[in-house]
């Protein structure tokens, strides 16, 4: 066997394997979500009778599941509409508050020489390697004692503390790429530091801030552990994630109705993701080339 | 998705030191430096305060709680200072099931990390050659990672359901399984050729779920690294008659190793700390109780805050030791590579 034939063999083999592998990956990535949508439109009896159906019977499509899951409990539904409201409040609140503290913070860490600048970023980053469950214990105790457990505000504060550091990190990397000379020029023209930051660097950093905002929104919307610990006893305050997880355990709510709930939980994230995918993927791997 | 599990990865990869800006000495430099310092503290302080109050103090408080006898019932009477003792640690370390939970956590994190990186590598290599629609396919690969964990866990639980799950339906009708498999509630150990692996079917399922949900993260990083490999290297190897596997083994893989090493650390840490996935899939039953789920059980179901805190500390300590050992063993070679 010459090496040329081995080469030809391998080329043919991988050439044939590649589409198969890609097909398989697409299947495992997308099928669960397709199945989620499919089940949300099928009546429960139809699912139980024919669990293998991979597309809905056109005559059988049932939008009732969405009505059931969204309607408030007093109307015989599951109250997801109010869960959606809670999730939005917490997620938007987290985005706004986090950006409010992290934009100045990131600017400071990027531009200004002050004692402890490096250490502070290191400490912030260290947060991400701590088991969330370890933080959960004292926060649970603390918020129970000040009687703020069970409020969305308590949850909001915890979220901001957890994402602020990473937000600073991502924004700092972006501020680093904006030439300092632009601000220096503004200062020569009589701007103060803060004015220069406000009028020069902030507008330039807008793309990074926007993608950062989306990223924080996704984290807050998807978060589960702290929502569970803080809000579980108070159904009015449940977020969509918490509501779905709590109802998934009960036998009374049909699986198809909960699938509609899953679609409602997932859809905003998927839409945001595909709208902003280029930015986000770039942000996620920023610095990866250095390995 | 836990907050920490989704931290952007760039975060830790890039070395924190940046090139110091060259600032020429100028008049009024010290006044300016003082101003900068003051503005710096002013701008960083809101974040510093909130991180200190909501992250650093709580960590210290956990240490304090771990040495006290605190229960949910007597919560109002406990403070930072109390009767310190080692009782919680003794109770936790000797309680039945703790060692099992630790072993389960290790198996889960090692196998979950391996699955995620392995699948991510396969995906990155398969999507390396450009083709029409590759951008869209790449975006689709990230969907399991960005989707809410609660929804993902719920749809998989339904798909794997022994009564009406689509996987068991096709498993029994097409693949000839004798009976539906209870993927998420079978504590039965898997045996390969009569060899008992001490891994339950449920544990294998949650490992695969972790691989499914986290491989996009590895895929993103490896794809970025693959794009940075100069084409000339491989072109030269082709001229020299290297086959695809040889090119992978001797050119591509060595370039990827440092990235894989970093990914291993990150994924291992996050999988080790993971709570959501297992809690949502099995609730910690049938041989899948990892330490994080056990901590939750102590905290909420038993109301034993002291013991929960002690266990969480043990978890963090073991993680710190494992990561330190890993960095000691592989840290240096990484710098060379």
The pLDDT of residue B126 is: 93
Return the CATH number at A173: 1.10.3720.10
A25 and A86 assigned to the same domain: no
Task: State the smallest CA–CA distance between residue B191 and chain A in angstroms.
Answer: 26
Q: Tell me the C-alpha distance between B257 and A289, whole Å.
A: 12
Displacement of CA A81 from its chain's centroid (Å): 20
Q: Tell me the C-alpha distance between B21 and A92, whole Å.
A: 36
* Residue A217 located in a structural domain: yes
The answer to whether the Cβ–Cβ distance between A39 and B158 falls below 8 Å is: yes
Q: Tell me the C-alpha distance between B56 and A161, whole Å.
A: 10
Considering only residues 114 to 153 of chain A, which have any Cβ-Cβ distance to chain B shorter than 8 Å? 114-115, 117-118, 120-125, 127-142, 144-145
A122 and A221 assigned to the same domain: yes
Residue A68 sits at φ, ψ, to 5 deg, of -60, -40
User: How confident is the prediction for chain A on average, in pLDDT?
Assistant: 84
Cα-Cα end-to-end distance for chain B: 33
A33 and A86 assigned to the same domain: no
Task: State the smallest CA–CA distance between residue A97 and chain B in angstroms.
Answer: 10
pLDDT in tens, A152-196: 888 999 999 888 888 888 888 888 888 878 878 888 888 887 788
Per-residue DSSP letter, A59: G
Chain B residues in contact with A208 by the CB 8 A cut-off are: none
The answer to whether the Cβ–Cβ distance between A52 and B170 falls below 8 Å is: yes
A92 and A120 assigned to the same domain: yes
Task: Give Cα separations from A1 to A7, B85, B242 (angstroms).
Answer: 10, 73, 15
Residue B240 sits at φ, ψ, to 5 deg, of -80, 0
Which residues, 6+ apart, have CB-to-CB distance to A206 below 8 Å? none
Tell me what the mean pLDDT of segment A262-286 comes to: 77
A55 and A83 assigned to the same domain: no
Q: Could you say which of A3, A134, A273 has the minimum Cβ distance to residue B62?
A: A134
Residue A23: which domain range?
3-62
* Residue A13 located in a structural domain: yes
Per-residue DSSP letter, B3: T
* Boundary residue ending a domain (A62, A90, A105): A62
Residue of B nearest to A156 (CA): B54
Considering only residues 218 to 247 of chain A, which have any Cβ-Cβ distance to chain B shorter than 8 Å? 218-219, 221-226, 229, 240-242, 244-245
Considering only residues 84 to 113 of chain A, which have any Cβ-Cβ distance to chain B shorter than 8 Å? 100-102, 104-105, 107-109, 112-113
Do residues B200 and B286 make contact, with C-beta atoms less than 8 angstroms apart? yes
The answer to whether the Cβ–Cβ distance between B39 and A109 falls below 8 Å is: no
Tell me what the mean pLDDT of segment B252-259 comes to: 91
Tell me what the mean pLDDT of segment B17-42 comes to: 65
- The model's pTM is 0.86
Displacement of CA B224 from its chain's centroid (Å): 20
What ipTM was reported for this prediction? 0.88
The answer to whether the Cβ–Cβ distance between A105 and B54 falls below 8 Å is: no
Residue of A nearest to B41 (CA): A114
* Residue A278 located in a structural domain: yes
* Residue A73 located in a structural domain: no
* Residue A201 located in a structural domain: yes
A160 and A126 assigned to the same domain: yes
Per-residue DSSP letter, B19: P
A22 and A156 assigned to the same domain: no
Which range (A107-121, A263-277, B142-156, B227-241) has the least confidence? A107-121
Choose between A153 and B329: higher pLDDT: A153
Residue B310 scores a pLDDT above 60: yes
**Nearest C-alpha neighbor of B182 from the set B194, B199, B200:** B200
Q: What is the dihedral of CA B127, A268, A246, A55, to 10 degrees?
A: -60
pLDDT in tens, B67-113: 887 777 676 666 556 677 788 888 888 888 888 899 999 999 999 99
A33 and A85 assigned to the same domain: no
The pLDDT of residue B11 is: 38
A161 and A257 assigned to the same domain: yes
The pLDDT of residue A280 is: 58
| Three-state SS at B291 | helix
A210 and A280 assigned to the same domain: yes
Residue A203 scores a pLDDT above 70: yes
* Residue A74 located in a structural domain: no
A277 and A166 assigned to the same domain: yes
A31 and A87 assigned to the same domain: no
* Residue A69 located in a structural domain: no
| Three-state SS at A151 | coil
The pLDDT of residue A281 is: 56
Structural domains in chain B? 28-336 (1.10.3720.10)
Q: How many domains does chain A have?
A: 2
* Residue A67 located in a structural domain: no
The pLDDT of residue B108 is: 94
């Amino acid at each position: 066997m010459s090496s040329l034939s081995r080469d030809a063999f391998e080329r043919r083999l991988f050439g044939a394997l590649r589409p198969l592998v890609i097909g398989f990956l697409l299947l495992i990535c997308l099928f669960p979500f397709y199945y989620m949508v499919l089940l949300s439109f099928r009546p429960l009896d139809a699912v139980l009778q024919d669990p293998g159906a991979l597309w809905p019977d056109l005559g059988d499509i049932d939008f009732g599941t969405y009505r059931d899951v969204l309607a408030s409990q007093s109307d015989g539904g599951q109250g997801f509409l109010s869960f959606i409201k809670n999730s939005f409040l917490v997620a938007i609140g987290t985005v706004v508050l986090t950006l409010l503290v992290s934009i100045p913070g990131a600017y400071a860490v990027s531009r200004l020489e002050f004692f402890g600048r490096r250490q502070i970023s290191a400490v912030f980053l260290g947060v991400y390697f701590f088991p969330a469950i370890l933080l959960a214990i004292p926060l649970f105790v603390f918020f129970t004692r000040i009687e703020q457990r069970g409020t969305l505000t308590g949850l909001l504060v915890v979220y901001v503390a957890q994402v602020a550091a990473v937000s600073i990190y991502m924004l700092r990397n972006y501020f680093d790429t904006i030439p300092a000379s632009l601000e220096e020029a503004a200062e020569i023209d009589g701007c103060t530091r803060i004015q220069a930051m406000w009028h020069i660097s902030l507008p330039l950093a807008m793309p990074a801030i926007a993608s950062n905002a989306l990223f924080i929104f996704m984290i807050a919307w998807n978060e589960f552990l702290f929502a569970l610990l803080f809000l579980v006893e108070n159904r009015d305050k449940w977020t969509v994630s918490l509501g779905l997880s709590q109802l998934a355990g009960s036998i009374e709510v049909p699986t198809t109705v909960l699938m509609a709930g899953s679609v409602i939980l997932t859809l905003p994230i998927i839409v945001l993701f595909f709208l902003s995918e280029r930015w986000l993927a770039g942000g996620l791997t920023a610095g990866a080339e250095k390995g | 998705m836990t907050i920490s599990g989704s931290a952007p990865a760039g975060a830790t990869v890039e070395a924190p030191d940046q090139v110091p800006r060259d600032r020429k000495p100028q008049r009024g430099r010290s006044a300016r430096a003082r101003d900068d310092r003051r503005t710096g503290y002013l701008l960083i302080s809101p974040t510093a305060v909130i991180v200190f109050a909501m992250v650093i103090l709580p960590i210290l408080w956990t240490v304090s709680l771990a040495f006290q006898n605190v229960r949910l019932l007597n919560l109002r009477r406990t403070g930072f200072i109390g009767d310190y003792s080692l009782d919680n640690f003794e109770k936790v370390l000797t309680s039945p099931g703790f060692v099992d939970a630790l072993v389960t956590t290790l198996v889960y994190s090692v196998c979950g990390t391996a699955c995620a990186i392995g699948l991510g590598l396969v995906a990155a290599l398969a999507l390396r050659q450009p083709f029409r629609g590759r951008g869209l396919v790449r975006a689709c690969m990230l969907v399991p990672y960005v989707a809410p964990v609660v929804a993902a866990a719920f749809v998989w639980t339904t798909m794997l359901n022994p009564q009406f799950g689509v996987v068991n339906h096709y498993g029994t009708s097409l693949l000839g399984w004798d009976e539906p498999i209870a993927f998420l509630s079978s504590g039965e150990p898997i045996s390969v050729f009569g060899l008992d692996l001490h891994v339950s079917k449920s544990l294998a399922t949650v490992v695969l779920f972790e691989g499914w949900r986290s491989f996009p993260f590895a895929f993103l990083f490896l794809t970025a690294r693959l794009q940075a490999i100069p084409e000339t290297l491989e072109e030269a190897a082709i001229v020299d008659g290297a086959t695809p596997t040889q090119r992978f083994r001797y050119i591509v893989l060595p370039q990827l190793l440092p990235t894989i090493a970093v990914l291993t650390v990150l994924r291992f840490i996050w999988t080790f700390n993971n709570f959501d996935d297992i809690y949502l899939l099995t609730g910690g039953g049938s041989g899948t109780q990892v330490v994080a789920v056990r901590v939750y059980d102590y905290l909420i179901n038993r109301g034993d805050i002291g013991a929960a805190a002690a266990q969480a500390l043990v978890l963090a300590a073991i993680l710190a030791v494992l990561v330190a050992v890993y960095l000691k063993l592989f840290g240096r070679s990484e710098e060379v590579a």
